[in-house]
Amino acid sequence: MSNFATTDGVDLYYEESGDGRPLILLGGWTMSTEWWRRQVPDLSQEMRTIAMDMRSYGRSEKTRRGHRLSRYAADLRELILHLDLQDVVVCGWSMGASTIWSYVDLFGTDKLAGAIFVDQTPKILTDETWKTGLGPDFTLSALDGFLGNIESDPEAFFQGFIPSMFVTPPPEDEQSWMLDAVRKMPTEDAVEVLQDHCCQDWRDVLGKVDIPALVITGGQSSLFPPESGVYQATEMPSASHEIFESSSHAPFYEEPKRFNDSVRNFVGAL
């Protein structure tokens, strides 16, 4: 359990364990290090696992500054430099995957050996050019109402959102810690970065991911269709695609053994 200060003076929390090739785990929107509890004990037996809380997440400093993906990508870069890491594998779930695309957009693939993208589309908003966003009706005109609903009653939103991420909702005690984890991020910070996240289009960045990549999608994802994963694997120069048929938006949690084996095999082949 450690902290480091970013160049703009924000104290960020991370956890690391194990030895070997570094694997950085980036959670989805508001999802802190606790979400990787089914990965770290297993994967850290073979590699150096590092789970990071983005700014205002979990045990990182609560700040009103920098809630945009470009700053989150810079925070990832600064963690890599802080730990003097080389040949890193980054694994990003949901908005964590978009953070990796932002990193590549800003810094290329410097310091990276591989990247894993878990159940995320490169463009969330749907329009006449893109039909594999967050549902057929999630257009720019719908965004303000969506964000407004979160801002007005975040508790009700997360109580509905958490179970919707799974084919079979977790037991109440598990949902309880999940809710506690997302509550640690102030609502205004969460809404601000979600707005930025929703308005991005990373399709022109996919071709710049010039390292081995693994795209994992939930076959029953409640957020994004598997076709988005097919598109990503086609557009990135050296990417493979796996569909976890028994999972929704969180395949690492619903099918942890298969997920961990996929990560282990991907890292081992680098």
- pLDDT of 171-206, one tens digit each? 999 999 999 999 999 999 999 999 999 999 999 999
Instruction: Indicate the helix (H) or strand (E) that contains 240.
Output: strand 239-244
- Domain boundaries in the chain? 2-268
- Mean pLDDT over each residue of the chain, to the nearest integer: 96
Sequence-distant (≥ 6) Cβ neighbours of residue 131 within 8 angstroms: none
Question: Has residue 229 got a pLDDT over 90?
Answer: yes
pTM of the prediction?
0.96
- pLDDT of 2-15, one tens digit each? 999 999 999 999 99
221 half-sphere exposure, CB direction, 13 A CA radius: 27
Q: Name the residue among 37, 38, 45, 36 with its Cα closest to residue 17.
A: 45
Instruction: Indicate the helix (H) or strand (E) that contains 97.
Output: helix 95-107
d(CA 149, CA 243): 31
pLDDT band at 135 (very low <50, low <70, confident <90, very high): confident
According to DSSP, the β-strands at 22-26 and 2-5 are: unpaired
End-to-end CA distance of the chain: 28
| Cα distances (Å, whole numbers) of residue 181 to 34, 97, 103, 158 | 7, 20, 25, 11
Strand intervals (E) in 87-197: 88-93, 112-118
pLDDT of 185: 96
Place of tokens 């999608």: 217
Could you tell me which CATH number the domain at 2-268 has?
Answer: 3.40.50.1820
